[in-house]
Amino acid sequence: MTMDRLRDRLEEGDRRVIGAAGAVADTVRRNPDRIAELIGLVDDDDTAVVAHTAHAMMQIAQDEPALFDPFADTLLDRLEALRQWEIGEQLPKILVCLPLTDNQAERLYDILCANIQDRSNIVAACSLQGIVDLARDGRVDRGRAQAALNAALGSHRKALAARARRLQKYLPA
Protein backbone atom coordinates (compact mmCIF):
# COMPACT_ATOMS: atom_id res chain seq x y z
CA MET A 1 0.00 0.00 0.00
CA THR A 2 1.69 3.23 -1.11
CA MET A 3 1.23 6.51 0.73
CA ASP A 4 -1.42 7.46 -1.83
CA ARG A 5 -3.25 4.19 -1.14
CA LEU A 6 -2.97 4.80 2.60
CA ARG A 7 -4.58 8.20 2.10
CA ASP A 8 -7.16 6.70 -0.26
CA ARG A 9 -8.20 4.20 2.42
CA LEU A 10 -8.47 6.94 5.04
CA GLU A 11 -10.57 9.05 2.70
CA GLU A 12 -13.28 6.38 2.61
CA GLY A 13 -16.47 7.05 4.51
CA ASP A 14 -17.89 9.89 6.47
CA ARG A 15 -15.80 11.89 8.90
CA ARG A 16 -18.11 10.91 11.76
CA VAL A 17 -17.36 7.19 11.43
CA ILE A 18 -14.07 5.39 11.83
CA GLY A 19 -14.07 4.20 8.22
CA ALA A 20 -11.01 2.16 7.23
CA ALA A 21 -8.95 3.35 10.20
CA GLY A 22 -8.68 -0.18 11.59
CA ALA A 23 -7.40 -1.63 8.34
CA VAL A 24 -4.89 1.19 7.97
CA ALA A 25 -3.77 0.70 11.58
CA ASP A 26 -3.20 -2.99 10.84
CA THR A 27 -1.16 -2.11 7.76
CA VAL A 28 1.04 0.28 9.71
CA ARG A 29 1.48 -2.23 12.55
CA ARG A 30 2.72 -4.77 10.00
CA ASN A 31 4.95 -2.10 8.40
CA PRO A 32 6.10 0.17 11.25
CA ASP A 33 8.32 2.15 8.91
CA ARG A 34 5.05 3.61 7.56
CA ILE A 35 4.23 5.43 10.82
CA ALA A 36 5.74 8.72 9.58
CA GLU A 37 3.52 8.53 6.49
CA LEU A 38 0.47 8.07 8.67
CA ILE A 39 1.41 10.93 10.99
CA GLY A 40 1.91 13.17 7.96
CA LEU A 41 -1.73 12.66 7.00
CA VAL A 42 -2.80 14.61 10.11
CA ASP A 43 -1.99 17.67 7.99
CA ASP A 44 -4.19 16.61 5.06
CA ASP A 45 -6.69 19.11 3.66
CA ASP A 46 -9.52 16.57 3.77
CA THR A 47 -11.20 16.60 7.19
CA ALA A 48 -12.30 12.96 6.81
CA VAL A 49 -8.70 11.88 6.16
CA VAL A 50 -7.54 13.74 9.26
CA ALA A 51 -10.32 12.24 11.39
CA HIS A 52 -9.64 8.71 10.19
CA THR A 53 -5.88 9.22 10.59
CA ALA A 54 -6.36 10.27 14.21
CA HIS A 55 -8.44 7.14 14.84
CA ALA A 56 -5.90 4.89 13.14
CA MET A 57 -3.10 6.43 15.20
CA MET A 58 -5.00 5.81 18.42
CA GLN A 59 -5.63 2.19 17.49
CA ILE A 60 -1.91 1.70 16.87
CA ALA A 61 -0.99 3.44 20.12
CA GLN A 62 -3.20 1.10 22.13
CA ASP A 63 -0.96 -1.82 21.17
CA GLU A 64 2.33 -0.23 20.17
CA PRO A 65 2.75 3.28 21.61
CA ALA A 66 6.53 3.06 21.20
CA LEU A 67 6.08 3.54 17.45
CA PHE A 68 5.24 7.17 18.24
CA ASP A 69 8.22 7.84 20.53
CA PRO A 70 10.39 9.51 17.85
CA PHE A 71 7.46 11.73 16.86
CA ALA A 72 6.54 13.24 20.23
CA ASP A 73 7.48 16.78 19.20
CA THR A 74 5.59 16.47 15.92
CA LEU A 75 2.49 15.23 17.75
CA LEU A 76 2.79 18.09 20.25
CA ASP A 77 2.96 20.55 17.35
CA ARG A 78 -0.17 19.06 15.78
CA LEU A 79 -2.05 19.08 19.07
CA GLU A 80 -1.11 22.68 19.67
CA ALA A 81 -2.28 23.69 16.17
CA LEU A 82 -5.55 21.75 16.76
CA ARG A 83 -6.99 21.94 13.26
CA GLN A 84 -10.01 19.80 14.12
CA TRP A 85 -11.55 18.15 17.14
CA GLU A 86 -10.50 14.57 16.33
CA ILE A 87 -6.88 15.60 16.82
CA GLY A 88 -7.76 17.00 20.25
CA GLU A 89 -9.60 13.80 21.07
CA GLN A 90 -6.93 11.28 20.08
CA LEU A 91 -3.49 12.90 20.39
CA PRO A 92 -3.66 13.47 24.17
CA LYS A 93 -4.38 9.76 24.61
CA ILE A 94 -1.30 8.90 22.58
CA LEU A 95 1.02 11.51 24.05
CA VAL A 96 0.40 10.58 27.69
CA CYS A 97 1.59 7.05 26.87
CA LEU A 98 4.95 8.21 25.52
CA PRO A 99 8.17 8.57 27.53
CA LEU A 100 8.16 12.36 27.28
CA THR A 101 11.04 14.49 28.49
CA ASP A 102 10.27 16.91 31.32
CA ASN A 103 10.07 19.76 28.80
CA GLN A 104 7.72 17.78 26.55
CA ALA A 105 5.49 16.85 29.49
CA GLU A 106 5.35 20.50 30.55
CA ARG A 107 4.54 21.56 27.01
CA LEU A 108 1.81 18.92 26.80
CA TYR A 109 0.35 20.15 30.08
CA ASP A 110 0.29 23.75 28.77
CA ILE A 111 -1.34 22.69 25.49
CA LEU A 112 -3.95 20.60 27.31
CA CYS A 113 -4.77 23.49 29.66
CA ALA A 114 -5.31 25.75 26.66
CA ASN A 115 -7.38 23.11 24.87
CA ILE A 116 -9.78 22.81 27.80
CA GLN A 117 -11.13 26.12 26.49
CA ASP A 118 -11.81 24.66 23.03
CA ARG A 119 -15.43 24.88 21.93
CA SER A 120 -15.54 21.10 21.50
CA ASN A 121 -16.62 19.31 24.66
CA ILE A 122 -14.75 16.23 23.44
CA VAL A 123 -11.49 18.16 23.11
CA ALA A 124 -12.01 19.76 26.52
CA ALA A 125 -12.79 16.44 28.22
CA CYS A 126 -9.86 14.61 26.60
CA SER A 127 -7.56 17.47 27.55
CA LEU A 128 -8.68 17.29 31.16
CA GLN A 129 -8.19 13.52 31.14
CA GLY A 130 -4.67 14.03 29.78
CA ILE A 131 -3.81 16.45 32.57
CA VAL A 132 -5.02 13.98 35.19
CA ASP A 133 -3.04 11.18 33.53
CA LEU A 134 0.13 13.29 33.56
CA ALA A 135 -0.35 14.04 37.26
CA ARG A 136 -1.07 10.42 38.16
CA ASP A 137 2.20 9.43 36.47
CA GLY A 138 4.07 12.15 38.36
CA ARG A 139 5.00 14.05 35.22
CA VAL A 140 3.26 17.25 36.29
CA ASP A 141 2.59 18.60 39.74
CA ARG A 142 -0.60 17.18 41.22
CA GLY A 143 -1.50 20.58 42.62
CA ARG A 144 -1.50 22.15 39.18
CA ALA A 145 -3.57 19.30 37.81
CA GLN A 146 -5.98 19.64 40.73
CA ALA A 147 -6.35 23.35 39.95
CA ALA A 148 -7.32 22.49 36.36
CA LEU A 149 -9.74 19.88 37.65
CA ASN A 150 -11.27 22.35 40.12
CA ALA A 151 -11.69 24.95 37.37
CA ALA A 152 -13.47 22.35 35.23
CA LEU A 153 -15.70 21.40 38.17
CA GLY A 154 -16.91 25.01 38.24
CA SER A 155 -17.37 25.22 34.49
CA HIS A 156 -20.67 26.36 32.99
CA ARG A 157 -20.16 23.54 30.47
CA LYS A 158 -22.12 20.67 31.96
CA ALA A 159 -20.26 17.95 30.03
CA LEU A 160 -16.88 19.25 31.20
CA ALA A 161 -18.01 19.57 34.81
CA ALA A 162 -19.40 16.02 34.68
CA ARG A 163 -16.09 14.68 33.33
CA ALA A 164 -14.25 16.55 36.08
CA ARG A 165 -16.45 14.92 38.72
CA ARG A 166 -15.63 11.48 37.29
CA LEU A 167 -11.91 12.28 37.24
CA GLN A 168 -11.82 13.51 40.86
CA LYS A 169 -11.37 9.97 42.14
CA TYR A 170 -8.06 9.73 40.27
CA LEU A 171 -6.63 12.82 41.97
CA PRO A 172 -7.73 12.60 45.58
CA ALA A 173 -7.09 15.78 47.51
- Are the CB atoms for 28 and 53 separated by under 8 Å? no
How much is the pLDDT for 18? Answer: 66
pTM given for the model: 0.92
- Are the CB atoms for 71 and 43 separated by under 8 Å? no
- CA–CA dist 25, 57 (Å, integer): 7
pLDDT in tens, 113-137: 999 999 999 999 999 999 999 999 9
How much is the pLDDT for 1? Answer: 44
pLDDT in tens, 37-84: 999 999 999 999 999 999 999 999 999 999 999 999 999 999 999 999
3-state secondary structure of 112: helix
pLDDT in tens, 88-116: 999 999 999 999 999 999 999 999 999 99
Task: Give the 3-state secondary structure percentages of the chain, helix then strand then coil, rounded to 5.
Answer: 75, 0, 25
- Are the CB atoms for 128 and 164 separated by under 8 Å? yes
How much is the pLDDT for 47? Answer: 93
Report DSSP letters for 26-86, one per residue: HHHHH-GGGHHHHHHGGG-S-HHHHHHHHHHHHHHHHH-GGGGGGGHHHHHHHHHH--SHH
How much is the pLDDT for 2? Answer: 47
